[in-house]
Structures are given as C-alpha cells and as structure tokens.
Amino acid sequence: GARQQTELCNESLMLEKLPVCGKFFEEMMKKVDSKKWCNLTEFIMYYDNFTQCTEREANNASCFWPNPLAEGFITGIHKQFFSNCTSEKVHWEDPPDEILITLILIPVMLTCAMITLVVWCSKRSDIL
C-alpha cells in the first residue's frame, strides 16, 4: 500500500530533477514584467506547466505528489518570485447614515406608493 510506495520513492532522483522544472519556470517568468508577478492571470500557464512538471518528476521517481520535499521546493520558488505579493483583504464599511437611510427609504416609499395605486385603481374599477 502506501508504505510500500514511500519505500520505493527515490527522493534523491526527485530532488535532482525538480530544479529542471524550476529553471524552466524561471525562464518563462523572465518574459513577464516583474511588476506583474503578483497578477496570476499574467503567468497562469507558466505556473500550470511548472506544477505539472513537479508532479511528473515526482511520479517518475516513484514518489507521491505533493510530498514534503516537493512542497519545500515549490515553496522556495514561491519565495523567489512571489515574496513581495501580499494578500490585501478588502475592509468593507457601511455607507454614511444619510446614504443608508435613503437606500432604505426609497424602496419602502415606492412599495407604499404602489400599494396605494393598486388600492385606488381597484376602487375606481368598482365604480365604473
């Protein structure tokens, strides 16, 4: 089972081959302006190829993927290219009270007006 797969894993072969994936990714990233390295849409194809390469090399060495050694290598690549990328969380705030009250009152007033109009029209049709 899983224990046998772990014993057959040739970690040294995998660690020898993974830098080839990293080198190819590095060459591809040179085509991307470094200011755009935090925009995944600019290099998603290169990153996908890099991921597939690391998986292929791990499997060729009879290792599971991901595994701690491959993850360590991938983390090193992330530090090299994406260390300046931060995840900025959007801080949502309520609008000012004046705007909030207006946004609440407009639908309420429209609803009241529509109800009044429907009632008035229904009373007028009874007369006719």
Question: Which pLDDT does position 94 carry in this prediction?
Answer: 85
Q: Does residue 3 have a pLDDT over 50?
A: no
Q: Are residues 58 and 31 in the same domain?
A: yes
Q: Are residues 26 and 73 in the same domain?
A: yes
Distances (CA, A) of 35 to 30, 45, 89: 11, 18, 20
Q: Are residues 19 and 39 in the same domain?
A: yes
Q: Are residues 55 and 107 in the same domain?
A: no
Question: Which pLDDT does position 8 carry in this prediction?
Answer: 87
Structure confidence by residue, pLDDT tens digits, 72-120: 999 999 999 988 887 666 678 888 999 999 999 999 999 999 999 999 8
| In a domain? residue 90 | no
Token reading at 91: 């801080």
Q: Is the pTM of this model over 0.85?
A: no
Structure confidence by residue, pLDDT tens digits, 10-19: 999 999 999 9
Q: Are residues 32 and 60 in the same domain?
A: yes
Structure confidence by residue, pLDDT tens digits, 51-79: 999 999 999 999 999 899 999 999 999 99
Q: Are residues 55 and 100 in the same domain?
A: no
Question: Which pLDDT does position 128 carry in this prediction?
Answer: 54
Distance CA 55, CA 77 (A): 15
What is the domain count for the chain? 2
Distances (CA, A) of 54 to 36, 69, 100, 111: 23, 11, 52, 60
User: Which residues constitute the domain of residue 63?
Assistant: 11-83
Q: Does residue 1 have a pLDDT over 60?
A: no
Q: Are residues 21 and 54 in the same domain?
A: yes
Q: Are residues 75 and 108 in the same domain?
A: no
